[in-house]
Amino acid sequence: MKSKVLITRTCVVTEFVTLLLLAGLSKPAVAQMRMGRDSLASPETIAAVAAAGAAIPKGPFECTWESIEKNYKVPEWFRDGKFGIFLHWGLYAVPGKQSEWYVRHMYGSEGIIKWHAEKFGPQDKFGYKDFIPMFTCKKYNPDAWAELFMKAGARYVIPTAEHHDGFAMWDSALTRWDAKDMGPKRDAYLAGSIKDYERQHRGPTTMQEGVWQVDDSVNQKWGFLYDARYWTVDGIVWRLVENVSKNGNLLCNFSPKADGTIPEEQQKLLLGIGAWLDVNGQAIYKTRPWIKFGEGQSINNRPHYTGKDIRFTTKGDTLYAIFMAWPGEQAVITSLAKGAPSAGTVKGVSLLGHNGALQFKQDEEGLRVKMPAERPCDYAFALKITGAETKK
């Protein structure tokens, strides 16, 4: 299932959203954009935003939906960013049970009705609204979040504005049941538009002309759970590589606790993907798809990847071939066989994270590359290739 949606998400404060959306700013400029934990917007933040806005010339947009539909184009920062973080954070983090749909199940599912009554009291004495004072966010540290997200290699963040429980995470003029008036008493807002697929298995499995995105969660649900079953780092890596090779992005969902902390298991995942991107990021960020997305039999790790499963990306005159599993002593890329479309004449091959060029031979069977004895990372290994044709 696919849909083009208006993304309207919020979080309790603005600065880390602004921080990662404005990834092109220098670190001193980013630091200036940050706000104090208990303020909504410092004078420095307002001044910085105002200064940035003043430099933007008048564009084609009028203040109508028709104008947006006619003139909107996916921004280059989104195409370049590739990896984003999605946040489900709300009252459902307090019980941390069943899912972010807890409000439905505490009144309608026998097992959760019983669990709730035993844990918090009967529903007629302790209803969903009684979680609001417990949603304190007292340990929430936006600077720490921003630093963690940058270490993870994320280039943008989309927090949830309001889930189906009806509790708005911004200062709503339509309801008093919001985070500004109750609970943490803080506010923020963000909006944008992109073609979106919920969960990896619903996303494209072939090359797409238009830019797209999968949003998926690192555990079985979207909100925080005390009994969450988490992905592994390689599960994030292969989703990211699969999507980028097909002209897409990955928006990876994480779920903070009610006190504003990010669970340790989730932090480890964030730092793990960041470590992989430290080595292989040039094969991901600011890349564009090649004439084909890859080689091999596996899609989305089904069946399990082998050293013959490859995904391609390009940047300028460089072709990247990302092996989804270690190919052994020799890597073979059949798409770069002599005479193949866009194969060109390969002039150089290197492995990201490995010092020095690699020996290779290009013949009628493909490009054969002698791989080093040591792997530069734990999964998904990127060859940097010059000489192949990268223009469509």
Q: Do 319 and 262 share a structural domain?
A: no
pLDDT of residue 14: 29
Distance between CA atoms of 35 and 373, rounded to whole angstroms?
Answer: 48
pLDDT value, residue 137:
85
Domain count, the chain: 2
217 and 352 inside one domain:
no
Residues 18 and 56 in one domain: yes
Instruction: Say if residues 128 and 146 touch (Cβ distance below 8 Å).
Output: no
Residues 303 and 253 in one domain: no
Last residue of a domain, one of 250, 283, 316: 283
Same domain flag for 226 and 312: no
| CA 195, 200, 203, 208 torsion-angle sign | positive
Q: Across the strands, what pairs with 312?
A: 321
- For the four alpha carbons of 225, 226, 229 and 231, in that order, the dihedral sign comes to positive
Do residue 379 and residue 258 come from a single domain? no
Of the residues 248, 283, 318, which one is the last residue of a structural domain? Answer: 283
**pLDDT value, residue 168:** 83
- On whether both 136 and 200 belong to a single domain, the answer is yes
pLDDT value at residue 4: 29
- The DSSP line for 242-257 is HHHHTTEEEEEEE---
Put simply, whether the predicted model's pTM sits higher than 0.85 gets the answer no
Size of the chain in residues: 392
**Residuewise pLDDT in 10s, the chain (392 residues):** 333 222 333 322 222 333 333 333 333 333 332 333 333 345 565 566 556 555 567 778 888 888 888 888 888 988 999 999 988 888 899 999 888 898 999 999 999 999 999 999 999 999 999 999 999 888 888 888 888 999 999 998 888 888 888 888 877 888 888 887 887 776 545 444 568 898 999 999 999 988 999 999 999 899 899 999 999 999 999 999 999 999 999 999 999 999 989 999 999 999 999 999 999 999 999 999 999 999 999 999 999 999 999 999 999 999 999 999 999 999 999 999 998 888 899 999 999 999 999 999 999 999 999 999 999 999 999 999 999 988 76
Residue 326 lies in a domain: yes
Domain encompassing residue 307: 294-386
299 shares a domain with 229: no
- Lookup: tokens for 345: 């004449």
Same domain? 299 vs 279? no
Is the peptide bond between 159 and the residue preceding it cis, with omega within 30 degrees of 0? no
Q: Which of 235, 256, 283 is the last residue of a domain?
A: 283
Domain contains 108: no
- pLDDT for position 13: 28
165 and 269 part of one domain = yes
* pLDDT (0 to 100) of residue 196: 83
Q: What CATH number is given to the structural domain containing 256?
A: 3.20.20.80
Is the domain of 305 the same as that of 220? Answer: no
249 close to 84: Cβ distance less than 8 angstroms = yes
Could you tell me the CATH number of the domain that includes residue 320? 2.60.40.1180
Residue 292 near residue 207 (C-beta atoms within 8 A): yes
- Assess whether 135 and 244 both reside in one domain: yes
